[in-house]
Every structure is written in structure tokens, then in C-alpha cells.
Chain A
């Protein structure tokens, strides 16, 4: 109006920042809500499970009445689930105190600190190995449409799917293989089918067919056209893989006695160790939600740009 050209870049940037902030706040709020609900539901599930108030020590005939009563009292302390949960959350929030594990007799924070790196390593190796193996099995059968490849990949996948983890653990160990590879062997068959179908779909797309017909290199097609088109579903599968990896880590850690969170969770479940189970669940929910937040953030950024 008065002859000046006013740049609209600054107001646009500030609007984008507001959108990002709104997104982050809503996601963090959702994370907090889910975590709180997850912890409470875990506490309720453990509390209503049979055997919550009993202790194996009660079967020891050497214990006196007084000792027995003292053991019963220990277990009854967490009888009121809501009160326990509120008290626990309060301690965590105000004093960063995760409490003690009654079954293992040690501070929970110390247990998690010792065991988290083991599980993280196992999960990372498992996901990387599982996905790599799944890709190596799926790609040749899709790219070259060879029945032999499909057959071999399918059979290998079938064996892995059907073998109990315990049998795999012992076989891998006996052959001198790294026991940490087990999680990869558990994840691989669970993602293989899906990855293969996604890749088949992608390779069937008209522009890919045209590119191949025109002689474009396989690697270029894969990296520049196929993978980007399947990236959103792969991200979703990656999110599920995190939970799968943790779920696979539990029996592997228990069987091979790897001192990770999975083994800890199993021991806590068998002992009905409420404080430890609630803490582990809170941690797992935070982890899963964090992974989802990352993939949602990536999608959100894509939409914004």
C-alpha cells in the first residue's frame, strides 16, 4: 500500500514454530497420560493375579510363627493398589526414588542401571540383525522373481518361526554362535513376510517397472525409488519391532541367563514383585511411546515441508 515490499518469511517461520510446539506438547501430554495409565493397569493386573500375597518361603517348615507373620506383613504392605501407585509415583517424581525390589532385595534403580545396557545391546543387535537378515532373504526373491530364492527364503523363515526359542538358544550356544544373535533370529521371521510383501508391492508399481525396463541399475532403483516409497510402513514396523525385540529379549535373557531387563521382568513376574513390575512397565511404555513420537515427528515434518 505504501510501496514497501514486506517479506512474509518471518510470520511464516513463527507460525511453523507454533505448529511444532503444539505438536510436541500434545505428544508429550499423550505420552504422560499413557504412561500413567499403563503403570496403574499393570499394578491392577499384578494385584488381581493369583498368588500375589503368598511367598515361597512359607513352605519352609523351619520358619517360626513370628517369621511367617512378618513375611505375610511384607506382602500385605502393597495390598491397596491405588495407594501404592500414588505413593510410588510421588516418590519417583519428588525424590527420583524408584524404591527397592522386595524379591531381589536391592534398589530398583541399581538393578535397572546394571541391566539396561545388556538389554539395549541385545535389542539393537536383534533389530539390526533381524532386519538385515529379513531384507537379505526378501530382496533376492522379489528382485529376481526366482522360485528357488522364494522357496529357500520361505523355508528358512518357516523353520525360524516354528522353533521354540529355548531350542534355538541351546543350538546356537552349542554351535558356538553368539547367543545375542538369537533375538535377530526371533525378529527376522516376524518382519520377513511383511517386508517381502511391501517390496513386492513397491516393485509392482508402474514407475518402477518402467525404470527397470529402461535399464536403471537395481541399486539405484532400490535406494532412490523403492525404499522411500515404503518408508512410512517400514517405520511403523520398526516401532512394532522395538516391542517385538523386547518381547523376544525376555525369553532369550531368561534362557541364556543374560542379565538384562527381560530376565528381570520375568523374575519379577514369577515373584509378583509389584514395585519392580510397575517400574519396568513404566519404562517400557515410555520407550515405546518415545519410538512412536519419533516416527510421528518424521511424518509430521514431511507433511509440513
Chain B
């Protein structure tokens, strides 16, 4: 394992452990409002200061990390896998299946799925735990977010389909599904990983934007997305307000570095 890879895994583990520890032995609760100290600057008691309601920013950031560090990549992974299934099979098999997949992709990209999200939110019980709303949102993002990556994966698959090693495998009697699974998909890894790293922050920000419509976790549940919303009023922001942005960037960068280097399998 290379040094940057090791470092990335250590950082991710440290973030996760810090987030879990904050639940087990919290210095401060993420929800408690210290109403005498709204908007306080960093101090020994509050290393990142407090937010506008006097809540410990660090506690909220760690709480959000615990949730978003799992949900956002999981949703992005699900979306990418869906994209592989649809785009990969469309690109390899071609013909009628390809035509249908292309139409489906175009429709997915054009329809206003916002209304489906609103309808799903309306179905949740009023007193459902805040995490339920968040899981529903990320789940729907995963189910709806495969179309863009699928098109790109389809194009990559169509190109690879003409490669010599695929022709050789086919000539050698390899079945179509085996070729797809053992030869094509491993060689699509660079594309798949590019899509995955792009999708994670897109989902985090989408969750934040959907919060404007009540489609995110409700108060006092912090998520990376709703912490990032504080950046929307940059004039009253202090430097410690950029901590969520730094954590998101660090996490995504570490995920990328932690992935093994891509090689071509022939």
C-alpha cells in the first residue's frame, strides 16, 4: 500500500472514530443551545465556536460526519452501480436494449423528479425520526441519480467493446455476461471511480438544496449539507464557519486517495 493511500485511510478512520466517540462520550450535545453564547468565537469549551443558536459547532460537525460519511458515499455507490447495470449493459449488448436504455436515460435527466421527492416526503409519518427523512432523501437521490453516469459509462463500454481483448475473449467462446463481468467492468474502473467521486459531493449539496424544500433532516439534526448552507451568507461568516467545507473536501479527497490505483486487465 502506498503512503498517500495509507494516510488517506488513517484520516478517514480518524474522522469516523472521532464521530463515533462524539456519540459515546460527547463533550457537548449537538442539539443543546447555550443561549448565552450565540455566535461565540472558538474557545477551550467550544473549539469551533457556537452557531447562531449557541450550539457547539464541533459537536454538530462530528455528528453530521457520522451520518453523511456513511450515507452520501453509500447513495453515490448505489447510483453508480445502477449506472453500471444500465449503461454497461446498454453499451455492450447494443440494439433494442441500447435504444431503450438511451430513452430511459434521457427521460430520467429531463423529468422534474422534485415532485416525486415531495410526494415521498408527504408519505412519511409526522413524528418519524429525523434520520428517516434523511435516509429517504439519499435513497431517492441514489435511485434517481444514475442517469448522468449511465450515459458516460455506456459510451465507455461501446468503445471498449471494440477492443482486441474483448474480441479475443468472444472468439475464445466466452459468454456475453462473463465478458461483461470479468473483462469490461474491471476496465471501466477509471470511469466508474470518476463518477463516484463526482457524485458524492453532488449528493451532499443536493441534500442541502433539498433542505430548502423540507426534504432533508429536520432540526436539530445536523448534516454536512445543512451545515454547508451557512456559507450562503458569507458576509457574516467567521473562519470557523468554513470547517464543514474543509471536512467535506478532506473526506472526498481521502476516499479518492484510498482507492487502489487503476490498472488495465487484459
Contacts and interface: CB of A to CB of B under 8 A. Distances in A.
B228 A243 contact: no
Contacts of B194: 193-194, 196-197
B15 to A, nearest CB: 15
A175 to B, nearest CB: 11
Contacts of B183: none
B257 to A, nearest CB: 10
Interface stretch (B18-26, B37-45, B59-67, B248-256): B248-256
Contacts of A281: 110-112
A197 B158 CA distance: 17
A290 to B, nearest CB: 11
A233 B152 contact: yes
B159 A232 contact: yes
A196 B190 CA distance: 10
Interface in B98-118: 99, 102-103, 106-107, 109-116, 118
B202 A49 contact: no
Given A166-B232, A243-B148, A189 B198 contact: yes
Interface of chain A: mostly helix, strand, loop or mixed: helix
Contacts of A167: 228, 231-232, 234
Contacts of A232: 155, 158-159
A49 B151 contact: no
A269 B107 CA distance: 18
Interface string A130-167: 00000000000000000000000011001101111111
A154 to B, nearest CB: 7
Interface stretch (A30-38, A121-129, A218-226): A30-38
Interface in B134-183: 148, 151-152, 154-156, 158-159
B106 A289 contact: yes
B205 A288 contact: no
A34 B245 contact: no
A41 B107 contact: yes
B208 interface: yes
B249 A269 contact: no
A284 interface: yes
Contact of A197 (B155, B191, B208, B229): B191
A251 B111 CA distance: 16
B255 to A, nearest CB: 11
Contacts of A244: 148
B209 interface: yes
A43 B235 CA distance: 41
Contacts of B235: 170
Contact of A45 (B116, B158, B231): B116
Contacts of A265: 112
B152 A251 contact: no
A255 to B, nearest CB: 9
Q: For the side of the interface on A, what is the size category?
A: 35 or more
A75 to B, nearest CB: 16
A38 B110 contact: yes
* Residue of B154, B155, B234, B245 with most partner-chain A CB within 10 A: B155
B209 A164 contact: yes
* Residue of A154, A163, A166 with most partner-chain B CB within 10 A: A166
Nearest to A229: B159
A171 interface: yes
Contacts of A50: 118-119, 121-122
Interface in A158-216: 158-159, 161-167, 170-171, 174, 189-190, 193-194, 196-197, 200-201
B215 to A, nearest CB: 12
Contacts of B190: 197, 200-201
Interface string A82-112: 0000000000000000000000000000000
Given A41-B111, A166-B232, A197-B190, 17 more contacts: A41-B107, A45-B119, A46-B112, A46-B115, A162-B228, A162-B248, A163-B231, A164-B205, A167-B234, A170-B232, A193-B197, A232-B155, A233-B159, A236-B152, A251-B209, A288-B106, A288-B109
Interface of A: 30, 33-34, 37-38, 41-42, 45-46, 48-51, 154-155, 158-159, 161-167, 170-171, 174, 189-190, 193-194, 196-197, 200-201, 232-233, 235-237, 239-240, 243-244, 251, 265, 269, 277, 281, 284-285, 288-289, 292
Interface of B: 99, 102-103, 106-107, 109-116, 118-119, 121-122, 148, 151-152, 154-156, 158-159, 190-191, 194-195, 197-198, 201-202, 204-205, 208-209, 228-229, 231-235, 245, 248-249, 252-253
15 contacts: A37-B103, A49-B115, A49-B119, A50-B118, A50-B121, A154-B253, A162-B201, A162-B248, A165-B209, A167-B228, A167-B231, A197-B194, A232-B158, A281-B111, A281-B112
